[in-house]
Amino acid sequence: METLKGTVDHIIFHNDKNGYTVADFDVDGQMVTVVGNFEELKEGEFLKLTGFWKEHQSYGEQFQIESYALDLPTSEEGVIRYLSSGLLPGIGEKTAIEIVNHFGTDTLDILDNHPDRLSEVHGIGKKTLDKIKEVYSEQKEIRDVMIQIQEYGISSTYAMKLYKTYQSDTVRVLLDNPYQIIKDVRGIGFKIADQIAAQLGFESQNPKRILSGISFCLQDCYARGNTYMTEKDLIEYSAGILGVPKEDIEFQLQELALRGDVRLEFIDDEPAYYPSALFEAEDNAALSMVRLAGAVFETQTVDIPAMIAAYEEDMSIRLDNRQAEAIETAIENGIAIITGGPGTGKTTIINGIVYIFKRLGMKTVLAAPTGRAAKRITETTGEPAKTIHRLLEYDYSGDDDFPSFNRNEENPLEVDAIILDEASMIDIVLLNSLLEAIKPGTRLILVGDADQLPSVGPGNVLQDLIESNVVKVVRLDRIYRQSEESMISINAHAINEGMMPEINNQSDFMFIRTMDPDKVLDTILDLVAWRIPEKKGFDAMKDIQVISPIKKGKLGVISLNKELQEVLNPAADYKKEKTLGTVVFREGDKVMQIKNNYKLKWEDIHGFETGEGVYNGDIGNITRIDEYNKTFEILLTDDKKVVYEFDQLDELTHAYAMTVHKSQGSEFPVVIMPMVGGPPMFLNRKLLYTAVTRAKKMLMLIGPQNYFYRMVKSGDTNERRTALKQRIKMYGELNV
């Protein structure tokens, strides 16, 4: 490791989300390019950098920082550069030279302890002096606090985060309870706080540490999709993470329950603990569902069969009895669930419900959990659809686990009916937010495939609602979307039943068998880049989607994206690039938005409209990288042009390949998926079924057939711990 000291001369690039920065540093008059993570950086700051030199392929020699700290220059030349850097108002290079000529190496001591003496220097009047004193005092406080924090071994990145939150109280808060920072400072979790606490001398059995550690372990519910943990599991898990006796965990659990931070419940006669917010979401959702299910609408004056017949005549279709029942159920009940696999006519039913509601003069809205799912329902029905976040008017709260909405109990949605597609993707928190915004008398129709993967967030909403036997459910089991040559829908249903499907490589459902991961990779690259486009006429970028069950490894999404980028969009002199960490974004790249950004502006390339909002899952291509304006332009698949700032790069990822979870709510003409080995907890029938049902015209599975067989025969071994079903039954029996 080497150490450099210098002044921040120019910030070339800074990402506010992850702190990644490229900057020019003035080190004793020599300009050095520095790269690394800085929480906050200002031109003119004097820093001590620790790191190593590396050679960048395009940009030459760079200094990669490992850590940094605020410092002060010691030479007269360094002080002059520091003062004239623009950090202090009214001091340019000429004035800085005069100050240093007057005070010499005592200049910074004068600024610290006798700032009024600056008036001795020609050109510094009272107004300028007052401004210098104000700004320098602020800089001195930051520097003093940062130096104190870093003396405890806290990294500069976290030191700046802490200072921005607590200012002059930073050290006091840390010494009193370092675990407080988990709640107060975004981006700092238990593990980081625990490291800081250890550096501050906190003992492993300190009650504050145990209380915080239990809460951290209970937050595992969010990662695993559960809404609670059994007492036994929580105690064992916490004791293992914290390295303390179980008796200490049991004692502090009672304290957390008394404080209201966790909720103790008995589920199937077994004690269990909820994070309080998840308990409230699940309990409120159950109560709301029972009340919706209890609403029965008087429809004697409505001739439903006649309206269904009119819909059939207008659309030149014929519904079967189950499809007609689904439409009737949606019209007659406060809440209805319509579930079925691919090709069973769910879109036809949605269209029928909308058709009849319109004739009844009812205001109906369509929604879906993600932007891609909302776009797809718009394309298939011809009716406008919104994301649930957009429908509820997301309020930019900054809390990803518990978003805030403008639509709620006090300001409900002014609609008569809500049709929610891809309902298997909705988690318990979002469901509760939606239910809070539904006023009495509104119908809610949930449409989805209960056999797909559940939501990424906590809960198993659609399955729990169906199994509660309180909500009206219509199951569609007859396949319509197929022809004699099509096997995708037929085989998807076979997989869902745990049966090995018929595989005929002359159909649209194909399996290429190979045991060698290198051959799997080579085959995927060959199929995407050449064989399928040349022989079948599909566009490699627009029509073909690689889906992988895993993120890491040779056949994981990260590696596949890199390999596919090289064959589909290789580097060229005429293509500009921008690097974020180890990822290279290049003009022409296929990319995907990975978080909802409701403020990001877009314009239609045809000049028809403009608007705001780019959603998690939206896909497009980088059409232009503008180094001068530090922007890049993306054309989304729905012909919307979006201009991003360089510091928004972390909202994007390459989309040549994506995980099965990310593919939910979408359909693609061609899907290619590698077969990989792994535990049934992650690689099971439900995941395979979800991947297969993403393909519309062609599906290609590549790899060992025994992996495919294991997934088909593996049930969902990762059953989620939720109690929505039990709560709905309980409130139903109480007739609330």
Amino acid, res. 400? D
Residue 351 in 3-state DSSP?
A: helix
Which two three-digit tokens encode residue 391? 């429908």
Give the C-alpha separation, 608 to 626, whole Å: 25
In contact, 120 and 132? CB cutoff 8 Å: no
Which two three-digit tokens encode residue 45? 């700051």
Helix (H) or strand (E) holding 591: strand 590-593
Q: What is the DSSP string of 421-484?
A: SSGGG--HHHHHHHHHTPPTT-EEEEEE-TTS---SSS--HHHHHHHTS-SEEEEE----S--T
**Pure H helices in 515-643:** 517-526, 532-536, 557-568
Angle between helices 76-83 and 93-103 (to 10 degrees): 140
In contact, 148 and 169? CB cutoff 8 Å: no
Residue 659 in 3-state DSSP?
A: strand
Give the C-alpha separation, 701 to 705, whole Å: 9
Report whether 260 belongs to an annotated binding site.
no
In contact, 366 and 419? CB cutoff 8 Å: yes
User: What's the distance, CA 53 to chain centroid?
Assistant: 34
**Measuring CA to CA, how many Å separate 16 from each of 438, 577, 578, 668?**
37, 20, 16, 34
In contact, 655 and 621? CB cutoff 8 Å: no
Q: How does DSSP classify residue 501?
A: P
Report whether 343 belongs to an annotated binding site.
yes
Report whether 381 belongs to an annotated binding site.
no
Give the C-alpha separation, 708 to 452, whole Å: 17
Beta-carbon count within 10 A of 43 CB = 14
User: What's the distance, CA 726 to chain centroid?
Assistant: 30
Q: How does DSSP classify residue 244?
A: S
Buried-exposed string 603-630: b where 16+ CB fall within 10 A, e elsewhere: eeeeeeeeeebbbbbbbbbbeebeeeee
User: What's the distance, CA 397 to chain centroid?
Assistant: 15
Compute the residue count for the chain.
736
* Nearest residue to 199 via CA among 181, 186, 225: 181
Report whether 347 belongs to an annotated binding site.
yes
Q: How does DSSP classify residue 96?
A: H
In contact, 640 and 602? CB cutoff 8 Å: yes
* Nearest residue to 638 via CA among 413, 379, 430: 379
Buried-exposed string 703-714: b where 16+ CB fall within 10 A, e elsewhere: bbbebbebbbeb
Report whether 345 belongs to an annotated binding site.
yes
Amino acid, res. 212? S
Give the C-alpha separation, 305 to 475, whole Å: 20
Strand 335-340 and strand 472-476: the pairing is parallel
* Nearest residue to 623 via CA among 671, 589, 673, 659: 589
**Measuring CA to CA, how many Å separate 435 from each of 195, 410, 418, 443, 736?**
41, 12, 11, 11, 16
Cα dihedral value 514, 518, 522, 523, nearest 10: 10
In contact, 12 and 23? CB cutoff 8 Å: yes
Q: Which residues are annotated as a binding site for ATP?
A: 343-347
Q: Which residues are annotated as a binding site?
A: 343-347
